[in-house]
């Protein structure tokens, strides 16, 4: 939504009805400035039950959460700060103090190269939260303190639980009798440490989903059997996804897989499969649970011929919504078909025998269903991207790591019949490019994606002025729908330079601009 339209909506709909609104979802880093300035205005939303703040500047969160403590009905909270969070402890304390909160989903950013500090909850004794989702790196050593406050917890999901060589469990007298569902991705956490965690806190868990890697002990079926029989008597679903390698010993690797075919696993209807990530290395791969767990995400490799490894993959893939293709070489006789996929991620540019990537993909995925496409390859030909767009008419979100245009004749490309068809028919609204654009590239992008509303891209600093002048020129008829631009990354000095340019050239009358963590945001 454009800035003008949002302000009209705020004035005519939100403000007059703020005492009646029960759900509020803000996904633009500028909108919080309009609605919650000053932050105490949130107290006027007395019927608010669900608050979703995506792409919010972290500096606003403290004051908004501090005032939210007085909201009488706020039971669901979803937070996604746009920048790095410096003080996680304070934010979690504010969240845990919300008196009526039952559900919380918190997605925050931390720097991977920095040590993950413990989270301290001070003297906090109790939180009403029952459903907690943390889609970020979370320190293992803070779990005990969290559990001490979360006696009503029923559902826990942690995207990346991070351990260290000194990690341990604090032996608090805590019984999480309501905790039934646990889902975690483990990083640097060995099996014995997980065993202690399960022993102390997961006795009543019925559904356990784990993503692990590297430690061979996670492939030891007998250790799992003993742990489950002794400390998880109510477990109904055991869902594991493990990536590992056993150096130069594929026989041992496959023998470990076979141990999961014993009577203990069969009686519980817990079945498993595995894939190898490279044809040359049969001693490494991915071991994972199959039906009946309705997996939403699936990582796919073409490289290995199925005859080398019987029962290598599962066949019932109806539940999969997101496929990650990690291959560099495609096979035309793919036996897997994903009928309900809506999101596709391609890790590498892969070779096909018939030189048609789109046709090869369409044999395994109904491309016309896709709504989101992510290409992480740096050498995926732009011509192939255009062909893919031809087969994906319902695509609304596209993310590309690079546009390899250095060998492409842009004039000839734009005269191509497929390019012209795609430029007139595609419905891409959200475009994210990790590409340093020149004006020439930017014109190409706008010609192809004339319906785009949100654009995030890199721009060479010397090209910013040219591109902004083109974007808001009266002769430009290709960007009527665009209202939000993020230039990432860019030096902070560009903020003032862009302000001066807009003012001196009188390019915009009504706009907002801000700089957050090396990203420059412009909304008009």
pLDDT digits (tens, 9 = 90+) for 417-466: 999 999 999 999 999 999 899 999 999 999 999 999 999 999 999 999 99
Q: Identify whether 505 is part of a domain.
A: yes
355 is in which domain, residue-wise?
295-394
Do 387 and 440 lie in a common domain?
Answer: no
pLDDT score for 293 = 59
Q: Which pLDDT belongs to residue 247? A: 60
Nearest to residue 220, comparing CAs of 188, 262, 168, 183? 262
What pLDDT does residue 249 have? 58
Asked whether residue 100 is domain-assigned, the answer is: no
The packing angle between helices 417-425 and 439-448, to 10°, is 70
The C-alpha atoms of residue 52 and residue 489 are separated, in whole angstroms, by: 26
Distance between CA 524 and CA 522 in Å, rounded? 7
Specify the pLDDT at position 111.
Answer: 77
Q: Using CA atoms, how far apart are residues 217 and 4, in angstroms rounded to an integer?
A: 58
Of 39, 108, 42, which is closest to residue 80 (Cα–Cα)? 108
Q: Whole-angstrom Cα distance, residue 132 to residue 100?
A: 14
Residue 387 lies in a domain: yes
In degrees to the nearest 10, what's the CA dihedral of 124, 126, 128, 130? 100
pLDDT computed for residue 16 by the predictor: 98
Q: Do 492 and 437 fall within a single domain?
A: yes
Boundary (domain end) residue, out of 394, 419, 445: 394
Residue 274 is predicted with a pLDDT of 79
- Residue at a domain's end among 367, 394, 421: 394
Residues 6+ positions from 512 with CB-CB distance below 8 Å: 3, 30, 33, 521, 522, 523, 524
**Are 327 and 376 in a shared domain?**
yes
Structural domain contains residue 437: yes
Asked whether residue 155 is domain-assigned, the answer is no
Q: Is residue 522 part of a domain?
A: yes
Give a yes or no: residue 470 inside a domain: yes
pLDDT of residue 207: 97
Q: For residue 278, is it within any domain? A: no
Which pLDDT score is estimated for 273? 84
Q: Which residues of the chain, if any, have pLDDT below 70?
A: 112-113, 245-251, 276-284, 291-293, 302-315, 331-335, 353-355
pLDDT reported for residue 250:
62
**Alpha-helix runs per DSSP H in 52-179:** 58-68, 88-96, 143-149
Residues 514 and 433 in one domain: yes
- Tell me, what's the pLDDT at 248? 54
Which helix (H) or strand (E) element contains residue 22?
none
Two structure tokens written together for 422: 């795609």
Residues 434 and 524 in one domain: yes
Cβ(452)–Cβ(431) below 8 Å = yes
* 390 and 441 inside one domain: no
pLDDT of residue 313: 54
**Closest by alpha carbon to 436, among 506, 378, 371?**
378
Number of domains present in the structure of the chain: 2
pLDDT of residue 113: 66
């Amino acid at each position: 939504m454009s800035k003008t339209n949002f302000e009209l909506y705020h004035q005519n709909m939100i403000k007059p009805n703020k005492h009646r609104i029960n759900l509020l979802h803000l996904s633009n880093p500028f909108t919080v400035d309009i609605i919650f300035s000053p932050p105490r205005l949130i107290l006027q939303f007395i019927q608010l039950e669900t608050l979703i703040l995506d792409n919010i500047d972290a500096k606003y969160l403290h004051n908004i959460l501090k005032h939210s403590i007085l909201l009488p009905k706020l039971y669901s909270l979803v937070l996604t700060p746009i920048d790095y969070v410096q003080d996680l402890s304070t934010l979690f304390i504010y969240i845990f103090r919300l008196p009526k909160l039952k559900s919380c989903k918190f997605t925050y950013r931390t720097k991977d190269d920095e040590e993950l500090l413990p989270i301290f909850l001070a003297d906090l004794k109790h939180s009403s939260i029952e459903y907690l989702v943390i889609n970020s790196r979370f320190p293992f050593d803070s779990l005990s303190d969290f559990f001490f406050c979360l006696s009503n917890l029923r559902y826990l999901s942690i995207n990346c639980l991070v351990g260290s060589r000194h990690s341990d469990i604090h032996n608090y007298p805590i019984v999480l009798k309501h905790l039934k569902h646990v889902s975690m991705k483990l990083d640097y956490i060995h099996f014995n440490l997980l065993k202690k965690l399960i022993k102390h806190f997961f006795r009543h868990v019925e559904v356990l989903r784990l993503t692990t890697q590297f430690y061979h002990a996670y492939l030891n079926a007998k250790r799992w059997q003993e742990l489950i029989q002794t400390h998880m008597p109510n477990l109904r679903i055991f869902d594991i996804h493990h990536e590992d390698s056993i150096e130069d010993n594929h026989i041992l690797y496959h023998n470990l897989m076979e141990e999961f075919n014993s009577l203990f696993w069969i009686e519980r209807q817990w079945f498993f499969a595995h894939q190898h990530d490279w044809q040359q290395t049969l001693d490494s791969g991915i071991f994972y649970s199959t039906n009946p767990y309705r997996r939403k995400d699936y990582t796919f490799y073409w490289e290995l011929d199925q005859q080398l490894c019987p029962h290598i993959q599962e066949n019932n893939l109806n539940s999969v919504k997101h496929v990650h293709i990690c291959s560099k070489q495609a096979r035309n006789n793919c036996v897997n078909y994903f009928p309900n996929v809506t999101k596709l991620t391609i890790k590498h540019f892969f070779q096909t025998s018939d030189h048609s990537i789109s046709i090869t993909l369409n044999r395994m995925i109904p491309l016309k269903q896709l709504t989101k496409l992510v290409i992480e390859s740096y050498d995926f030909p732009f011509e192939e991207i255009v062909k893919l767009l031809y087969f994906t008419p319902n695509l609304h979100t596209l993310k590309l790591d690079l546009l390899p245009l250095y060998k492409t004749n842009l004039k000839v490309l734009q005269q191509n019949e497929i390019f012209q068809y795609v430029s007139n028919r595609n419905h891409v609204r959200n475009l994210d490019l990790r590409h340093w654009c020149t004006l020439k590239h930017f014109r190409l992008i706008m010609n192809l994606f004339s319906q785009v509303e949100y654009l995030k891209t890199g721009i060479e600093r010397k090209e910013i002025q040219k591109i902004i002048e083109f974007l808001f020129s009266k002769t430009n008829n290709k960007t009527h729908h665009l209202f939000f631009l993020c230039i990432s990354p860019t030096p902070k000095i560009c903020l003032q330079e862009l302000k001066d340019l807009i003012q001196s050239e009188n390019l915009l009358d009504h706009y907002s601009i801000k700089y957050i963590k090396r990203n420059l945001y412009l909304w008009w």
